[in-house]
Structure 1
Amino acid sequence: MEDFRRMAIFAAVVQRGTMSAAARQLDMTPSAVSQHIRQLEKEAGINLLHRSTRQLSLTDAGQRFYVQCAAMCEAADRASAELAAERQQPSGELRLSAPAGFTQHAVPALGDWLRQHPGLRLRLLMDDKPIDLIEARVDLALRFGHLPDSSWIARPLGRSPTVLCAAPQLLAQLSELPQHPRDLMDLPWLDMNRSEPPQINALWQHSPSGESFQLQVTPQMSSNHRAAVQQFCEAGLGLALLSAHDVTASLRQGRLLRLLPQWDMGQLDIWAVTAQREALSAKVRQAIEVLRQYFAGLEGMQQSL
């Protein structure tokens, strides 16, 4: 590294014309600059400069050596400029990991931003399994729910209430609509579940009275894919606890109906996760903000975490 520094000092001396001018540019003393040049010549075993009381001039070897030193400095300047641009303007490839359930939100959340930055390439890795950010070279991970302890840095994007849903055709088979969680025990259930065997174990609270109820049922169908659970629910195959930001359109269009709205069934926290806290590139900083704004604009979302 010291050799590279001396090469840069030599290039500055040639470009500025004198040791003193190069010293001012490099914030060094003229004697220190001179020592570096002499050491460079000593290690090379050849003179690089002709010295006189008035000026410096390059030897033939010094001229050829300067061309390479100047090219090295230009490459270093370009590398620094590239890093500076990376901090200011989204560019290059953004590797974003997200659960499969984010599929329906990917285009509305990121499409316009991607269109505004033609120099940006998006690599979207959709997987419900936890992914190692370092091993997969992931710049940003979108995570839902409780986060296990780790060294990753998590930034909150929003909170989506959990709502109990059923399709109209399923409810039409009942003599009356459920009025209390105990009325749900004998109905078919669907669940986003990775446990073995699958089991729903939820504690709900009645907002007006403060009453609590522990629900324990075995789902007839479970999946590690949130969208699959919603599709089965819309087909009338069972009840499901779903996230408000996923079912807004289905509730509005009547494909699903919400049950027991006065019962608090929990929330799903949404996080932007990175491997480091500081020195985030422009593409990562902007992606986090774009996602935060997107989730903030979704109907039913809560912003405070």
Structure 2
Amino acid sequence: MNRFGEMLVFVRAVEDGGFSAAARSLTMTPSAVSKLIGRLESRLGVTLFNRASRTVTLTAEGEAFYTSALRAIEAVEDAEASVLGGGATQGTLRVRSMPTFATHQLAPLIPAFRRLHPGLRLDFVLSMEPGNLLDGGIDVAIHVGELADSSLTARRFASTRWIICASPAYLAAKGTPRRPEDLAAHECLNFPSTAPWSIWSLRDAAGETRRLKPAGSVAANTGQMLLAMARSGAGIVRLAEFHIIHDLRAGRLVEILPERHSGAEDPIFALYNGRRHLSPRIRVFLDFLEMSFSQQPPAWERSLNERVWKTPHDEQLKECDPGTHAQPA
């Protein structure tokens, strides 16, 4: 591998947080990554990483080399972008998202995006797993909810509220909860207790927000599984409005305790590595998200008391390409 290749491996090890993570991103073995980094250090005559049993951190020399290596890589990327395809955006963009948001909100937008940027290949990774959201060579990660402390740069492009609901059949058989404390007597379908989405926020009679974590007999780590169980009458569920909008419209699910909703909304962010120069392929995707979700309030931001519903992003897609519409889930 040449010197530029060594720099690429080094930068990936820094941004992925270790040799093993970099190896997964680059489809190499950890030993091969370690050997390349060692060869680079020998050639430079400095130690770039402080190596511990489980983690690696940059030395002062490593920080300086990382800054210089980024400039060199970005210069090459800019040079290629200036000549490839007459300035058109090229390459592969890897996007990570929670499965439900990708399926119900991103997928209907992809045809319009591809028409705008035909030279850009999209590689989606759907995952609910915690950890480094950009691990594995991810360029942009979609995150729903408040952010923990992070070195990543976040661009907020939408928000959603969470709705507690159940099927008409379940409510007919078990009754409808009238107060937050009534939920304790019901079968509540929830995410695993370690997931941030397992906490249900409701207002009590005094108007104070209460944070509940219902522990039913069934939990699932994907909203799609929880939705399927709720549709079948298995219990009460709390899911993002963008996920269940069509079920509410069709009457397959009924909102519970709407008057006790806390009023809080979860932000939806696009996360990327702000330490790096913003490449054209990342920039055009971020701009497209912002355009798609900000031209008019998405359907899930409207009151559920309104009975005139639109499929999310119908109008945005019309702007991009007349006649293109999102399809119900």
**TM-score, normalised by the number of residues in structure 2:** 0.60
Distance 2:189 2:111 in 1: 32
Instruction: Tell me, yes or no, if structure 1 residue 142 matches structure 2 residue 142.
Output: yes
8 Å Cα contact 1:154/1:274 also seen in 2: yes
Q: Which has the higher contact order (CA 8 A, sep 6+)?
A: 1
| 2:128 maps to amino acid | D
8 Å Cα contact 1:90/1:281 also seen in 2: no
Q: Secondary structure at the match of 1:276?
A: coil
Instruction: Tell me, yes or no, if structure 1 residue 253 matches structure 2 residue 250.
Output: yes
Instruction: From the superposition, tell whether residues 134 and 268 of structure 1 become closer, same or farther in structure 2 (CA, over 3 Å).
Output: closer
2:273: which partner in 1?
Answer: 275
1:132 positional shift: 3.6
Instruction: Tell me, yes or no, if structure 1 residue 166 matches structure 2 residue 162.
Output: no
1:123: which partner in 2?
Answer: 123
Task: Summarize deviations over 1:254-280 as a string: whole Å, max 9, x none.
Answer: 111111111224433211000126631
1:107: which partner in 2?
Answer: 107
Distance 2:131 2:231 in 1: 30
Instruction: From the superposition, tell whether residues 200 and 277 of structure 1 become closer, same or farther in structure 2 (CA, over 3 Å).
Output: closer
1:289: which partner in 2?
Answer: 287
Distance 1:100 1:294 in 2: 19
Instruction: Tell me, yes or no, if structure 1 residue 157 matches structure 2 residue 154.
Output: no
> % of aligned pairs identical?
26
Task: Summarize deviations over 1:127-184 as a string: whole Å, max 9, x none.
Answer: 111354664121111112232212111111221011111011101113x532211222
Distance 1:286 1:80 in 2: 15
1:239: which partner in 2?
Answer: 236
Distance 1:155 1:199 in 2: 21
8 Å Cα contact 2:81/2:89 also seen in 1: no
Distance 2:83 2:203 in 1: 51
Task: Summarize deviations over 1:88-127 as a string: whole Å, max 9, x none.
Answer: 6322111111122222323213221113322111111111
1:84: which partner in 2?
Answer: 82
Q: Structure 2: which 5+ runs fail to align?
A: 1-74, 303-329
| 1:195 maps to amino acid | T
Distance 1:199 1:141 in 2: 17
8 Å Cα contact 1:88/1:282 also seen in 2: no
8 Å Cα contact 1:199/1:216 also seen in 2: no
8 Å Cα contact 1:100/1:127 also seen in 2: yes
Distance 2:213 2:147 in 1: 23
Distance 1:190 1:93 in 2: 38
1:191: which partner in 2?
Answer: 190
| 1:227 maps to amino acid | Q
Instruction: Tell me, yes or no, if structure 1 residue 223 matches structure 2 residue 223.
Output: no
Instruction: From the superposition, tell whether residues 278 and 195 of structure 1 become closer, same or farther in structure 2 (CA, over 3 Å).
Output: closer
8 Å Cα contact 1:109/1:290 also seen in 2: no
8 Å Cα contact 2:200/2:238 also seen in 1: no
1:300 positional shift: 1.9
Instruction: From the superposition, tell whether residues 187 and 88 of structure 1 become closer, same or farther in structure 2 (CA, over 3 Å).
Output: farther
8 Å Cα contact 2:248/2:255 also seen in 1: yes
8 Å Cα contact 1:165/1:240 also seen in 2: yes
Instruction: From the superposition, tell whether residues 199 and 150 of structure 1 become closer, same or farther in structure 2 (CA, over 3 Å).
Output: closer
Distance 2:274 2:115 in 1: 27
1:209 positional shift: 5.6
Distance 1:136 1:218 in 2: 33
Bigger drift between 259-268 and 143-152 goes to: 259-268
Instruction: From the superposition, tell whether residues 119 and 179 of structure 1 become closer, same or farther in structure 2 (CA, over 3 Å).
Output: same
Distance 1:172 1:272 in 2: 41
Distance 1:218 1:120 in 2: 44
Q: Secondary structure at the match of 1:96?
A: strand
Distance 1:163 1:187 in 2: 16
- Count residues with an aligned counterpart: 223
1:283 positional shift: 2.0
Q: Structure 1: which 5+ runs fail to align?
A: 1-76
Instruction: Tell me, yes or no, if structure 1 residue 264 matches structure 2 residue 261.
Output: yes
Distance 1:201 1:81 in 2: 48
More strand per residue: 1
Instruction: From the superposition, tell whether residues 85 and 132 of structure 1 become closer, same or farther in structure 2 (CA, over 3 Å).
Output: farther
